[in-house]
Amino acid sequence: MMATTPFMLTEAIGLSAIPEPAVLGYFETFNRGDFEATASLFDAEGVLYAPFADPIVGKSAIATYLKTEALGMKLNPQQGMSQTLEDGNIQVQVNGLVQTAVFSVNVGWLFIVNSQPAIVSATVKLLASPQELLSLRPFTKF
């Protein structure tokens, strides 16, 4: 049986409530803009599944992608749940916001962390309706 542990992130508790050091490090290094450090938290063959992108595999590719696509973004995790999977890996689900200079959007993150602990995979899902997503992009007349 898999045990699940919910957690809430509040200003009083802060990011330290995230139970896995690699996941905590992901949010901390990302928000500092230290994308090399963020990528270093992944397993050698770790995968980042980002919205609207093919899977990004490996530390170098993840760092390059984040330097290109994530500049100026701030992650604001708010609540989550962790559980131990049957294979011994830890799954951490986190919901929160991604903020940019011009918009914020609800996001869900799903991390799989191995025993090293290193991130095996991180999946980023936009939790917005198609109408909300369309409003984030300037409309161009033809």
Model pLDDT, residue 129? 61
Mean pLDDT across the chain, nearest whole number? 85
Model pLDDT, residue 142? 43
- Least confident window among 46-50, 80-84, 136-140: 136-140
The string of pLDDT tens digits covering residues 67-77 is: 999 999 999 99
Global confidence as pTM: 0.81
Which token pair is 90? 């830890």
Model pLDDT, residue 23? 94
Q: Identity (one letter) of the amino acid at 95?
A: N
Q: Which domains does the chain have, with CATH numbers?
A: 4-10+20-136 (3.10.450.50)
- Least confident window among 2-6, 48-52, 98-102, 131-135: 2-6
Model pLDDT, residue 50? 96
